[in-house]
A and B are shown apart, each in its own frame.
Chain A
Amino acid sequence: MFEVSQQEAQKVLFEEEPFQKDEENEENENIKNTSLSQIIEDVEGTIIVSITNTEKHGEGMNAFVTYSINTKCIDDPILGTKDINANRRYSDFVWLHDTLKTQYKGVIIPPLPEKNLINRFSPDVIDYRKSELERFLKRVLTHPKLVSSPHVLAFLENGELQKAPEDIATKSKGFFSTLTEKVTNINIGTVVETDEWFTDIKEYIKGLDLQLNNFYNKTTSLTKKRKEFVQIWEDFSQGATEYANVEIEKDKMLHRLFDKLGEITHQISSLHNETVEREVSQFESSLKDYIRTTAAVKDVLTNRDNALLKYQAAEKTLEQKKQKSEKNASASKASAIQTEVNEAEKQKDTAKAQFEEITRECKEEIDKFLKTKNKEITDALRDLVQTNMNHELRVLDLWKELLQLIEESPIS
């Protein structure tokens, strides 16, 4: 029952339009929120989270933005029923993200938007961040394991965030990273993958990351070029209109035609502007999100690799201790060596258990990822198609207008 309700909530949340920030009409927002919650009231255990406002604080070097988060819980098995608010800044989100990464090594932690140093306070950037951060929270809250983290609740309730120094240390470095954990065991070498499923997945993720980034780069090149057309068509329009004005006395027909040409090319310029904005805000950002998520998958695989390394090292140590015990026959050292063997055995068992646990979790998460990623990328492509088709249709109509004008004009 719990699983189903979470999925349903997820469906509702993902198909929701991002809330419009409207300071004057917060009333409407609340009404919207309420009616939505009323719809899903029948479904047990729903959480609706939204970022309702953004605010800039301070000046110059020390300026930052806070995001007002509102969370409505209705009969949630873990959080109960409540309406909580918090004001958080970007670094707080980073804290939450990194904390979850340390706590749940086998879980694919939803990614955050990148730290942006340029244009931090432009409305577009803030808007973009707001929707990405909201998406992050929604994903966290719909994950059965992450939602139960006390840190999540503290974050949402505006509670104090325990920012301990070791939380900063565990930053993911990626697939081929060197060991990030402090290990004193001298038997740490390179990981020997024993599971074919994982060998396969690692290859796949590596290639996917590469191709996705390439695909993303080509997409941004395309949208960048389209941005240029805004000015290009505007210039064309100016040229046509200028020429039209020269013909105003001598050739009324050419004047009308080229004036119209100037008009439609001006509109084509605006269309390109609209289209590129949508392409960037929808398709590009979806792609970027997909890339970040793939990176998060790599983090999880790295965590498992580390656990495997630890396990394999522990096995080697145990082996060494056992050999040592066999070689040494003297009674005086025998018990000491036996203790070492027992200790090594215990450590090996712990490492093995941890490894098996994280492997299981990993596999579950990656399976889920493989199933769901299809939908998000397909949705993004669908939006891109519709944006482009819409663009072409409107451009088509403009040219038709001009064609009609020509066909109405007598060609002497």
Chain B
Amino acid sequence: YQRRVRGFCFVGFSTLSMTDQSFEGQQNELESDELLEDTSKESIEISITDTEKSGEGMNAFITYTVKTKTNNHPIWGTQSLCAIRRYSDFIWLRDGLKTEFKSVIIPALPEKSMMNLVPEFIEERRIELERFLRRVVHHSQLVDSVHTKMFLESTKELKKLEIKPPVDPKQPASPKGFFSSFTQKVSTINQLVASPVENDDWYSDNKEYLRLLEQTLGSFSDKVSLTLKRLKEFSENWDELSVASIELAKQECSKDKSLENIFDKFGVVCSETGASINETADKQNYQFTYTIKDLKRTVGSVKEVLANRDALLLKLQNAEKNRDSKKLKLEKDPSKSNLQNEAAEAEKQKDSAQEAFNDFSKDCKIEIEKFLSTKNKEFSLSLKRLIQANLSHDLKVLDSWRSFLQTLGDLRDV
């Protein structure tokens, strides 16, 4: 039973979508916690079911099998789709969505990596790409994009497809498109500013906040990753001690049965401890590290939207400058009709730039506020999982040591 979120809604960036059996239980837990809208029988299910390494050496790459199953979907109806995609195809999709929906925070993709394609890395990537797609199709605007449709359906090479950007009804039709470069025909008297001056407190405040957020999340994520690495090494140490203990037990076999028993049991304790540490480290990785990295990437996506707004702001401010200079000219020579026309035209341009900017800012704000509230929910949920993983580890280990203590205690009476 899948749920679909309607409306302009930035869906949580942490729907832990693992197809790994061992995490199924946790996944269900998460979904029950998330307050997604309960909708009717419309559904879309996406999964990356397979990964395959192709090519050799320098030219090697991974392909991902993307399977889509829909049920009474407004776009696809009820059908099954399958497409083989590689990482660059995902980039193609994201770039397309970025261009089409400038005020929407587009879900983030995992970074391009030159790293050797080891199984752990491939699995991690598969999960993250899957998560990306699920977010895209659960976003009411993004799912509608022709890029999305092509990505899920098309058997042709995506890069070769020619996709016309949709006409934005809010923007005046201009031959170059609204987001054409800032190289407007501006009088050389007016100096073009390189970057806009932020005049909105809410935005300047949040820009700074997002900058700091990205920075600290980056360093925090590094520290968490290092912790997990060391934990895995620690579990190996316990395993080795376990083996050594069992060897020692064998040695005592002939002379001291009780010591043999003790070292055997100690070997068990050590190996159970090591296994639990390993398992917890994995859980922490899936829950916590992913969440932090993901959040950081999403901040990057937010910054993209802010950059789009900045571009409009710049345009607006340049239009204002232009209008002001034209006005000035007219004031000096009010009778000239061509100056009157230019001034009027400049005013019109400034007005439309203003409108575009205001609308965009409004949409943007909604997106960012949704992001902030979702962040709270996702991050605290993730933290809760972290705590639970550690608690269950501690309890398990305590049990193990306790039963060993009993073995030692029984001996005291002998």
Give residues in A with beta carbon < 8 Å to B. 200, 204, 207-208, 210-212, 214-215, 217-219, 221-222, 225-226, 228-229, 232-233, 235-236, 238-240, 242-243, 245-246, 249-251, 253-254, 257-258, 261, 370, 374, 377-378, 381-382, 385-386, 388-389, 392-393, 395-396, 399-400, 402-403, 406, 409, 411-412
Contact = CB atoms under 8 A, between A and B. Distances in A.
A235 to B, nearest CB: 5
Interface in B267-295: none
A261 B227 CA distance: 14
Interface string B190-227: 00000000000000000001001100110110111011
Interface size on B, as a range, is 35 or more
B159 interface: no
Given A204-B255, A225-B233, A236-B224, A399 B379 contact: no
Contacts of B33: 411
B227 A232 contact: yes
Interface string B133-174: 000000000000000000000000000000000000000000
Nearest to B215: A246
Given A238-B223, A411-B376, 15 more contacts: A211-B247, A217-B244, A240-B220, A243-B220, A245-B216, A250-B209, A251-B375, A254-B375, A378-B262, A381-B262, A385-B404, A385-B405, A389-B401, A392-B394, A400-B391
Given A222-B238, A395-B394, A399-B391, A261 B383 contact: yes
Contacts of B240: 218, 221
B248 A212 contact: yes
A235 B223 contact: yes
A208 B254 CA distance: 11
B230 A228 contact: yes
Interface string B390-407: 110011011001101100
A90 B209 CA distance: 63
A151 B54 CA distance: 80
A217 B238 CA distance: 12
Given A246-B216, A406-B380, A374 B227 contact: no
Nearest to A402: B387
A235 B255 contact: no
A226 B216 CA distance: 27
23 contacts: A211-B248, A215-B248, A217-B244, A218-B241, A222-B237, A222-B238, A222-B241, A242-B220, A246-B212, A251-B375, A253-B380, A257-B383, A261-B383, A370-B256, A381-B266, A385-B408, A389-B398, A389-B405, A392-B394, A395-B394, A396-B394, A402-B387, A403-B391
Nearest to B383: A257
A232 B230 CA distance: 8
A94 to B, nearest CB: 30
A393 B244 CA distance: 26
B82 interface: no
B262 A253 contact: no
A393 B398 contact: yes
B405 A382 contact: yes
Nearest to B266: A381
Given A238-B223, A392-B398, A377 B259 contact: yes
A395 B401 CA distance: 15
A411 to B, nearest CB: 6
Interface in B225-245: 226-227, 230, 233-234, 237-238, 240-241, 243-245
A237 to B, nearest CB: 9
A238 to B, nearest CB: 7
Contacts of B252: 208
Counting from the closest, the 3 A-B pairs by CB-CB distance are: A239-B220, A239-B223, A396-B394
Contact of B234 (A219, A229, A389): A229
A240 B401 CA distance: 31
A232 B224 CA distance: 9
B259 A226 contact: no
A259 to B, nearest CB: 12
A250 B251 contact: no
A204 B254 contact: yes
B321 interface: no
A392 B241 CA distance: 19
A239 to B, nearest CB: 4
A142 B283 CA distance: 54
B398 to A, nearest CB: 5
Nearest to B389: A399
Nearest to A200: B254
A406 B398 contact: no
B256 A242 contact: no
Contact of A370 (B220, B255, B387, B402): B255
Contact of A246 (B209, B251, B402): B209
B354 interface: no
A250 B209 CA distance: 8
Contact of A214 (B222, B247, B372, B380): B247
